Amino acid sequence: MRTHPIAARGGPLLIAAATAALISCLLWALPGIAGAKASTAGAKPGGATELGDPEYGVCRGTDARCYHDWGNFDPSKGVKVLLYTRTAGPRHANLGPALAAGLNPPLTDANAAQKGLIALGAANGFSVDYTEDVTQLATAGALMKYNVVVFLSTSRDTLDDNAQTSLRQYIRAGGGFVGIHNAFGTEYNWPWYEGLLGGANFYDHGSYQAGTVRTLDRKDTSTKALPATWDWKDEWYNLVPFPSKVRLLASVDEKSLTQGVTGNLGHPGHGLNHPVAWCQYYDGGRAFLTTLGHGQTAFDPASTDAGDKNFQKLIVGGILSAAGAQPFCR
């Protein structure tokens, strides 16, 4: 009797291996299939129902074991913040005119966001240096002087190769990062940075309008002083990809948006789960993120608007916790 060619070449082993691989693929796919079914609930016909699960090749999420506690930063010696507001595309009005080169160049009253964050720091125990000069981010050593680097409404390709490398090394050394508003419209073509934002990116937004923010997690440093709900006016960014492996801290109630949530590029909104603030550990560092911060008085501690006050509590808590001066992302 002749032996079948496959069997002669170890057929039973090949068949067993193929069967095991098939079973593995099916087991891997089942959660995605279930998630896709769940995500279609209430979705508009023809809209995207599965946007994938981007992975960035680093330790990320809410597990503190992702943090590199290598002794590079000691907040007990004072919290120092570097504020970066360089724009290589659209520029938000609250940033005012572009800044001169160097560190801490002169500001005008129109540079409302920068002046406001500096004042918030003075009132809450952290110092702020500021710049729009990419050469100030040229080395990891230059960034290591700061407990936190804040990107506030930066836009497009605002970093060169040296600055990208420095930021990555700084985060891996245990540095803190805070991304505010159009930090989500920055470095679109750099996957590592997208991961730093929580695996999320700005896609579009609807009208600048009033809405109700819901505080989702009131245990975190950034949210513990906030009410359960608060009124605020913003652009309410729609996100693609959607944040993943993060702790959601606040969301907007889309039902409170009188002009709807459909964005200028057609995004239908996020329904019942429209996050506006979250936190995560990422590639050795800490990252606090919020899509809020469009308004002209948002960062001004002299503002008497209750929404501004709540937003500032969120930002201050995010900065101090990303610096390690307060508990982070708990």
Task: Please give the Cα distance from 293 to 72 (Å, whole number).
Answer: 30
What pLDDT score does 49 carry? 55
Kindly state whether residue 21 falls inside one of the protein's structural domains.
no
Kindly state whether residue 54 falls inside one of the protein's structural domains.
no
Encode the chain in three state secondary structure. CCCCHHHHCCHHHHHHHHHHHHHHHHHHHHHHHHHHHHHCCCCCCCCCCCCCCCCCCCCEECCHHHECCCCCCCHHHCEEEEEECCECCCCCHHHCCCCCCCCCCCCCCCCHHHHHHHHHHHHHCEEEEEECCHHHHCCHHHHCCCCEEEEECCEECCCCHHHHHHHHHHHHCCCEEEEEHHHHHECCCCHHHHHHCCCCCEEEECCCEEEEEEECCCCCCCCCCCCCEEEEEECCEEECCCCCCCEEEEEEEHHHCCCCCCCCCCCCCCCCCCEEEEEEEECEEEEEEECCCCCCCCCCCCCCCHHHHHHHHHHHHHHHHHCCCCCCCC
Kindly state whether residue 261 falls inside one of the protein's structural domains.
yes
What pLDDT score does 54 carry? 76
Helix axis angle for 112-124 and 306-322, nearest 10°, is 70
Task: Please give the Cα distance from 113 to 118 (Å, whole number).
Answer: 9
Cβ pair 204, 263 in contact under 8 A: yes
Domain total in the chain:
1
| Torsion angle, alpha carbons of 202, 206, 211, 217, to 10 | -20
Q: pTM, whole model, 2 decimals?
A: 0.85
Kindly state whether residue 24 falls inside one of the protein's structural domains.
no
Task: Please give the Cα distance from 135 to 277 (Å, whole number).
Answer: 29
| Torsion angle, alpha carbons of 244, 311, 96, 193, to 10 | -20
Kindly state whether residue 223 falls inside one of the protein's structural domains.
yes
Kindly state whether residue 305 falls inside one of the protein's structural domains.
yes
Q: Which domain range does residue 153 map to?
A: 60-322
At 120, which CATH number?
3.40.50.880
Cβ pair 322, 82 in contact under 8 A: no
Task: Please give the Cα distance from 198 to 62 (Å, whole number).
Answer: 11
**How far lies 44's CA from each of 37, 49, 236, 262, 269, in Å?**
14, 9, 19, 12, 10
Task: Please give the Cα distance from 270 to 237 (Å, whole number).
Answer: 10
Kindly state whether residue 328 falls inside one of the protein's structural domains.
no
Distance between first and last Cα of the chain: 69
What pLDDT score does 124 carry? 97
**Total Cβ atoms within 10 A of residue 226:** 23
- pLDDT, one tens digit for every residue, the chain (330 residues): 444 443 444 444 434 444 444 444 433 333 333 333 333 344 444 445 566 677 899 999 999 999 999 999 999 999 999 999 999 999 999 999 999 999 999 999 999 999 999 999 999 999 999 999 999 999 999 999 999 999 999 999 999 999 999 999 999 999 999 999 999 999 999 999 999 999 999 999 999 999 999 999 889 999 999 999 999 999 999 999 999 999 999 999 999 999 888 999 999 999 999 999 999 999 999 999 999 999 999 999 999 999 999 999 999 999 999 999 999 998
What pLDDT score does 43 carry? 41
Kindly state whether residue 44 falls inside one of the protein's structural domains.
no
